Amino acid sequence: MVETSRDWSEKLSFALWTYRTSICTSIGATLFSLVYGMEVVLPVEIEVGSLRVALEHQIAKMDWLRARYNQFNLLDEKRLKVKITCMLTKENGSCIQEKGQA
C-alpha cells in the first residue's frame, strides 16, 4: 500500500490517541490523566492481561470506589501543579497553551 497525504484522515485517530496518552515532559503528565484522573488502560493490557488490570478486578467495589474518589480529589491538585508549571514556562514556549484562556 502506498501512503499518500490523502490517507491522513484514516491515521488521525491513532495520532491523537498517541498524543493524548504520551507523557508531556514539560508538565510531567499525560493529557488523558489530567482530564480523567487516571492513566489510560491500553487495549492490549485488557486482552493480554496486565498486573494493573488484574489488581483492579480483585479489589472490592467499595474499596475501588473509595480509591477513585480519592484520585478525583487529587486531580484538582495535579491540574493546579500543571497550571503553575505552564505559567512558569510560558515565556519559553515549552508548555501546551490552553485554548480560550486569557
Phi, psi of 49 (to 5 degrees): 95, 130
HSE-CB at 47 with a 13 A cutoff on CA atoms is 3
Contact 92, 39 (CB under 8 A): no
The predicted pLDDT at position 102 comes to: 44
The predicted pLDDT at position 99 comes to: 46
- Each domain of the chain, given as residue ranges in start order, spans 20-80
Q: Where are the beta strands (DSSP E) in the chain?
A: 23-24, 29-30
Other CB atoms closer than 10 Å to residue 40's CB: what's the count?
14
The predicted pLDDT at position 21 comes to: 79
Phi, psi of 14 (to 5 degrees): -70, -40
Give the integer Cα–Cα distance in Å for 22 and 31.
8
Note down pLDDT in tens along the chain; length 102 residues.
456 677 778 888 888 878 877 887 777 888 888 888 777 777 666 666 566 666 777 777 777 778 778 877 888 888 888 888 878 877 666 555 554 454
